[in-house]
Amino acid sequence: QKEVEQDPGPLSVPEGAIVSLNCTYSNSAFQYFMWYRQYSRKGPELLMYTYSSGNKEDGRFTAQVDKSSKYISLFIRDSQPSDSATYLCAMRKNSGGSNYKLTFGKGTLLTVNP
């Protein structure tokens, strides 16, 4: 079993829809959880960053972490065609020092149709 599992999709939704993206993980040592967005032929860029369990909201985006279930989610409200991209979840075990190693999911390809 891979440490981080993510449904690769593809996921296609109409503009304005609510999008739910999810990852599960197996290692309870993960403490920091991130969502990256990657446009075609570009590098990943950080979208959301959360520590431990709970919710975090930023505009149309909400990240949820449930450590008891080892499950994280990203919700996109009022989705726009500009949200079309690959979304990758990422996790980290330690807070700093020399260990910033991230473990990524394989990414979910999202298309928002006008």
Partner 1 sequence: DAGVIQSPRHEVTEMGQEVTLRCKPISGHNSLFWYRQTMMRGLELLIYFNNNVPIDDSGMPEDRFSAKMPNASFSTLKIQPSEPRDSAVYFCASIGATGGQPQHFGDGTRLSIL
Binding residues vs partner 1 (CB under 8 A): 34, 41-46, 49, 88, 95-96, 98-107
**Coil/strand/helix, residue 18:** coil
Q: Minimum distance between the CB of residue 38 and partner 1, rounded to whole angstroms?
A: 8
| Residue placing its CB nearer to partner 1 in the complex, 52 or 78 | 52
Minimum distance of partner 1 from residue 49's CB (angstroms): 6
Residues 56, 50 contacting (CB under 8 angstroms): yes
Compare residues 58 and 78 and give the one whose CB is closer to partner 1: 58
Radius of gyration of the CA atoms of the chain, in A: 14
Q: What's the closest the beta carbon of residue 44 comes to partner 1, in angstroms? A: 5
78 with 52: CB under 8 angstroms?
A: no
Q: How far apart are the first and last CA of the chain?
A: 37
Nearer to partner 1 by Cβ, of 18 and 52: the residue is 52
Taking the complex as a whole, the smallest distance from the CB of residue 5 to partner 1 amounts, in Å, to: 11
**How many angstroms separate the CA atoms of 113 and 91, rounded?**
30
Residue 81 to residue 111: CA distance in whole angstroms: 7
Is 71 or 100 the residue whose CB approaches partner 1 more closely?
100
